[in-house]
């Protein structure tokens, strides 16, 4: 097995495990303040120290992972849920449908994704739900493009030709033959979009438009930490490291999966 | 060539040695406009009070009443007629002379039915203004008003020229020692010395107010010398760094600011005094002050500043007691898991403070949703439309017990008993009786816990160590730089 798959898989498992664990247990309440012990350095009581209100940093990072994953998963689900059918439709129908869908994705790509997400959350009000929707909207054209590109290749394969020759409907072919064959490509794209979603969520939270306090989020932890950058630099290091490792893990996982699932790359 | 450059250097030297006479002042918030008689935003006052606009009286650094555009005054025996002797030779920045007609116009405009003055009730007692001659103004009150001279020192009672009244929002014209030069929206307001000022001219030739909302950027701007002074410094956590640095002076003083969690009493369950008391028991003022104000605030028990005339210490009325809070909530029928929304305007005492309040209320079974808002949004939704549950806010107006006696105000506290005491206080002329009534007012507010009274708002200022004449305290919202200058 490729090292990228192992490392990526391990980091992703750690991220997801931490998020799941935070549902049932964190060392302290991630929202519980303890002003007397604020800005404590890492120690046996607070493994990663405490923040400016005395909240336990490890607990906040765990709960932050949960919030971050929730936003990214839903954003990916929104993107794939709408983008993949659109892409498959474009590939299956061709002609005008294909043209219109592709120009629409061109249009969507013309907007800078994160700035538009900022605009959407600013208009609809800050909060995790709106962040999910805003990030999700920008996943749609990505999945449309990827699904269409991969599906067009499959549509020209001999077994599809054969299926059409025996009278199978386009709809049945798209669902029964094409979709299973592009699933691997989509899975890889999902991990990449998942990683981008975590960055986008952190960015939105950093500017105050993502997950709202008192719910912890990595982006806001970074924002809070910058005021204390000289007194307690570790406060910025831990959420920063969490974001980096999560994104690195997901990207490596995506890379590893692609190598493994793509027959042309297999064995290299 | 060399001769030339030496000559140039010699020529430049005197200019370089000349003392600095401009000042750059950092502020967190940008004013929405610059007409101090038409808006509640403290930022308007922080740019214009005493610098640009002046009233008949003015309030000094210690909160004392000083003569402003009136050089002296007398009060009639019944306390209903104030005769102001106006200063001679006062001109507005546009050249309009200041006289009694201006007084009549300014007070009339503030008290008018369509007045947009943020402190309109201050002018309610004025029956009429008479002008026996151009330099004498007689203000007749419908009833004696104890705090009248103090009130007329508020920024809201500034003298406005009839000619410029309509355009003051963008091009403010006053009588002050500085006049308006330029406003780069989103960045700065520039004032320059008024060469025709009636009194002692300002020592500084120009003052720039720069708007830096972000605490980190404010710290960086101070350290880099981009701003010379930050009279209300937004990052108390960075103070140690400035204290250790000889280039800076750190000043911790007082303001008239009272941080309260205002409750919308027209909404259930905040109309129930047991709920309000429970909230007061649930909030640990010490944790809030240590966590949010770096320990610099003083807890308050009512809507009144420690040290003000007639102050009564009611801090102990609702000590931190989560068990009692839970019991009171249960008695009022509030089930655990009850959810309330606290709107938070941008300053740290609210935005960051909200997280502390949320954590404390969670301890007594209340789930808090925090709704951050920009100022414009807050003024509209909370202050104008009364559309909120609770909000964290500092009331920076001095001695403003009167806001609880208003017919309509954003927290909807309507208590006839309180209003009766307040009316008695307004009518009282005997200082001892006034003090007694001030005490009664505070007790009534505390007993009703009209809002949850949390802490005083400290004034934490950082400025260049060579800068002199900055205000140490802020009895009224202002950045009075009329006496500011640089040490040799």
pLDDT at A268: 46
- pLDDT tens sequence across B292-326: 888 889 999 999 999 888 999 999 999 999 999 99
pTM of the model: 0.79
Give yes or no for residue B17 having a pLDDT over 80: no
Q: Are B314 and B446 in contact (CB under 8 A)?
A: yes
Q: DSSP string covering B337-359, please?
A: TEEEEEEE-SSHHHHHHHHHHHH
For chain A, say whether B20 makes contact (Cβ under 8 Å).
no
Q: Mean per-residue pLDDT for A17-24?
A: 93
- pLDDT tens sequence across B412-452: 999 999 999 999 998 887 889 999 999 999 999 999 999 99
pLDDT band at A263 (very low <50, low <70, confident <90, very high): low
Which residues of chain A make contact with B369, given a CB cutoff of 8 A?
212
Which chain A residue's Cα is nearest to B286? A35
pLDDT at A198: 94
Place of tokens 């009443």: B65
Minimal CA–CA distance to B232: which of B482, B461, B75, B72?
A: B461
Helix ranges (DSSP H) in B379-486: 416-427, 431-448
- pLDDT tens sequence across B152-178: 999 999 999 999 999 999 999 999 999
For chain A, say whether B348 makes contact (Cβ under 8 Å).
no
- pLDDT tens sequence across B253-267: 888 899 999 999 999
- Asked if the Cβ–Cβ distance from A214 to B358 is below 8 Å, we say yes
pLDDT band at B486 (very low <50, low <70, confident <90, very high): very high
For chain A, say whether B215 makes contact (Cβ under 8 Å).
yes
Which residues of chain B make contact with A232, given a CB cutoff of 8 A?
none
For chain B, say whether A233 makes contact (Cβ under 8 Å).
no
b/e code A192-206 from CB counts within 10 Å (16+ = b): bbbbbbbbbbbbbbb
| Average pLDDT of chain B to the nearest whole number | 91
Give yes or no for residue B10 having a pLDDT over 60: no
Q: What share of chain B in percent tops pLDDT 90?
A: 74
**Residue B53 has what DSSP assignment?**
B
CA torsion sign for A179, A184, A187, A188 is: negative
pLDDT at B9: 46
- Pick B287's closest partner by Cβ from A33, A214, A226: A33
- Asked if the Cβ–Cβ distance from B237 to A229 is below 8 Å, we say no
Q: How many C-beta neighbours within 10 Å does residue A217 have?
A: 28
The CA–CA distances, whole Å, from A249 to A7, A140, A254, A257, B57 equal 7, 23, 9, 12, 67
Give yes or no for residue B27 having a pLDDT over 50: yes
Q: Please tell me the number of Cα atoms within 13 Å of A50 on its side-chain side.
A: 24
Give yes or no for residue A39 having a pLDDT over 90: no
Whether complex ipTM tops 0.90:
no
Q: Mean per-residue pLDDT for B217-232?
A: 92
Task: Delineate the domains of chain B, giving CATH numbers in brackets.
Answer: 54-167 (3.90.76.10), 171-254+460-486 (3.40.190.10), 255-458 (3.10.105.10)
pLDDT band at A227 (very low <50, low <70, confident <90, very high): confident
Specify which residues B183 forms β-bridges with. Answer: B189
Q: Mean per-residue pLDDT for B223-231?
A: 94
Give yes or no for residue A94 having a pLDDT over 90: no
| Shortest Cα–Cα distance, B28 to chain A (Å) | 15
Which chain A residue's Cα is nearest to B371? A212
- Asked if the Cβ–Cβ distance from A212 to B369 is below 8 Å, we say yes
Q: Mean per-residue pLDDT for A36-47?
A: 88
- Asked if the Cβ–Cβ distance from B237 to A38 is below 8 Å, we say no
**Would you tell me the crossing angle of helices B273-282 and B348-362 to the nearest 10 degrees?**
100
pLDDT at A266: 54
pLDDT at B426: 87
Q: Mean per-residue pLDDT for A105-122?
A: 84
pLDDT at B228: 96
Q: Mean per-residue pLDDT for B373-401?
A: 91
Q: Mean per-residue pLDDT for A44-55?
A: 90
Task: Delineate the domains of chain A, giving CATH numbers in brackets.
Answer: 3-28+55-261 (1.10.3720.10)
Q: Which residue has the higher pLDDT, B63 or B164?
A: B164
Rounded CA separation B118/B141 (Å): 20
Q: Mean per-residue pLDDT for A23-42?
A: 88
SS3 B456: strand
pLDDT at A264: 64
Give yes or no for residue B223 having a pLDDT over 80: yes
Minimal CA–CA distance to B289: which of B281, B279, B299?
A: B299
Lowest pLDDT segment from A122-131, A210-219, B276-285:
A122-131
pLDDT band at A209 (very low <50, low <70, confident <90, very high): confident
Which chain A residue's Cα is nearest to B214? A227
Please work out, in degrees rounded to the nearest 5, the angle formed at the alpha carbon of residue B170 by the alpha carbons of B165 and B174.
Answer: 50
Rounded CA separation B424/A92 (Å): 84
Helix ranges (DSSP H) in chain A: 3-24, 57-93, 95-110, 113-124, 128-155, 158-165, 170-173, 179-206, 218-226, 234-261
pLDDT band at B3 (very low <50, low <70, confident <90, very high): very low
Q: Which two tokens stand for residue B351?
A: 């935005």
């Amino acid at each position: 097995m490729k090292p990228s798959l192992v490392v990526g898989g391990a980091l992703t498992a750690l991220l997801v495990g931490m998020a799941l664990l935070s549902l049932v247990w964190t060392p302290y309440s991630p929202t519980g303040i303890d002003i007397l012990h604020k800005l404590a350095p890492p120690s046996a009581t607070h493994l990663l120290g405490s923040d400016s209100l005395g909240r336990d940093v490890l607990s906040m990072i765990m709960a932050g992972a949960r919030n971050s994953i929730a936003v990214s998963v839903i954003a990916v689900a929104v993107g794939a849920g709408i983008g993949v059918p659109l892409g498959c439709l474009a590939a299956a129908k061709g002609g005008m449908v294909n043209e219109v869908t592709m120009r629409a994705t061109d249009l969507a790509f013309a907007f800078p994704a994160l700035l538009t997400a900022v605009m959407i959350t600013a208009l609809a009000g800050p909060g995790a739900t709106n962040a999910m929707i805003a990030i999700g909207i920008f996943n749609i054209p990505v999945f449309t493009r990827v699904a269409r590109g991969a599906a067009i290749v499959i549509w020209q394969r001999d077994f599809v030709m054969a299926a059409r020759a025996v009278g199978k409907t386009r709809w049945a072919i798209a669902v029964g033959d094409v979709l299973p064959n592009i699933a691997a490509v989509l899975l890889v794209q999902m991990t990449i979009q998942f990683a981008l979603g975590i960055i986008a969520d952190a960015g939105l939270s950093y500017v105050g438009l993502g997950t709202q306090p008192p719910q912890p989020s990595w982006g806001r932890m970074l924002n809070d930490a910058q005021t204390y950058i000289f007194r307690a630099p570790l406060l910025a290091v831990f959420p920063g490291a969490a974001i980096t490792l999560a994104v690195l893990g997901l990207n490596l996982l995506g890379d590893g999966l692609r190598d493994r699932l793509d027959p042309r790359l297999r064995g290299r | 060539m060399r001769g030339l450059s030496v000559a140039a250097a010699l020529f430049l030297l005197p200019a370089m040695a000349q003392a600095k006479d401009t000042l750059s002042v950092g502020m967190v918030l940008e004013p929405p406009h610059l007409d101090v008689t038409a808006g509640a935003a403290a930022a308007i006052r922080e740019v214009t009070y005493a610098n640009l606009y002046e009233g008949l009286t003015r309030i000094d650094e210690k909160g004392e009443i000083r003569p402003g555009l009136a050089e002296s005054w007398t009060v009639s025996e019944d306390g209903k007629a104030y005769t102001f002797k106006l200063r001679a030779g006062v001109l507005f920045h546009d050249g309009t002379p200041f006289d009694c007609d201006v007084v009549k116009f300014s007070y009339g405009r503030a008290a008018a039915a369509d007045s947009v003055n943020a402190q309109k009730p201050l002018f309610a007692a004025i029956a009429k203004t008479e002008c026996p001659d151009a330099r004498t103004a007689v203000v007749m009150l419908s009833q004696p008003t104890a705090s009248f001279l103090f009130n007329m020192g508020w920024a809201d009672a500034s003298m406005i020229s009839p000619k410029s009244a309509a355009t003051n929002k963008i091009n403010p014209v006053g009588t002050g020692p500085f006049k308006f030069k330029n406003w780069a929206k989103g960045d700065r307001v520039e004032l320059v010395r008024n060469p025709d000022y009636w009194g002692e001219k300002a020592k500084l030739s120009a003052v720039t107010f720069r708007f830096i909302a972000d605490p980190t950027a404010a710290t960086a701007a101070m350290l880099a010398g981009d701003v010379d002074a930050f009279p209300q410094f937004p990052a108390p956590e960075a103070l140690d760094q400035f204290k250790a640095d000889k280039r800076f002076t750190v000043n911790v003083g007082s303001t008239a600011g009272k941080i309260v969690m205002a409750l919308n009493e027209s909404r259930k369950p905040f109309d129930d005094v047991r709920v309000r008391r429970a909230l007061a028991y649930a909030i640990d003022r010490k944790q809030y002050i240590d966590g949010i104000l770096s320990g610099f605030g003083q807890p308050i028990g009512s809507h009144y500043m420690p040290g003000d005339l007639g102050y009564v210490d009611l801090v102990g009325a609702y000590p931190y007691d989560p068990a009692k809070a839970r019991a009171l909530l249960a008695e009022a029928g509030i089930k655990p898991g009850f959810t309330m929304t606290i709107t938070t305007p941008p300053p740290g005492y609210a935005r960051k403070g909200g997280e502390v309040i949320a954590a404390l209320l969670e301890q007594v079974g209340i789930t808090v949703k925090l709704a951050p808002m920009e100022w414009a949004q807050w003024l509209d939704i909370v202050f104008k439309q009364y559309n909120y549950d609770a909000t964290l806010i500092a009331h920076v107006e001095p001695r403003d017990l009167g806001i609880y006696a208003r017919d309509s105000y954003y927290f909807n506290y309507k208590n006839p008993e309180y209003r009766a005491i307040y009316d008695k206080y307004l009518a009282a002329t005997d200082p001892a009786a006034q003090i007694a009534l001030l005490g009664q007012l505070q007790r009534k507010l505390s007993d009703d816990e009209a809002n949850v009274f949390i802490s005083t708002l400290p004034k934490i200022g950082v400025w260049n160590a060579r800068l002199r004449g900055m205000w140490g305290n802020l009895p009224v919202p202002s950045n009075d730089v009329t006496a500011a200058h640089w040490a040799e």
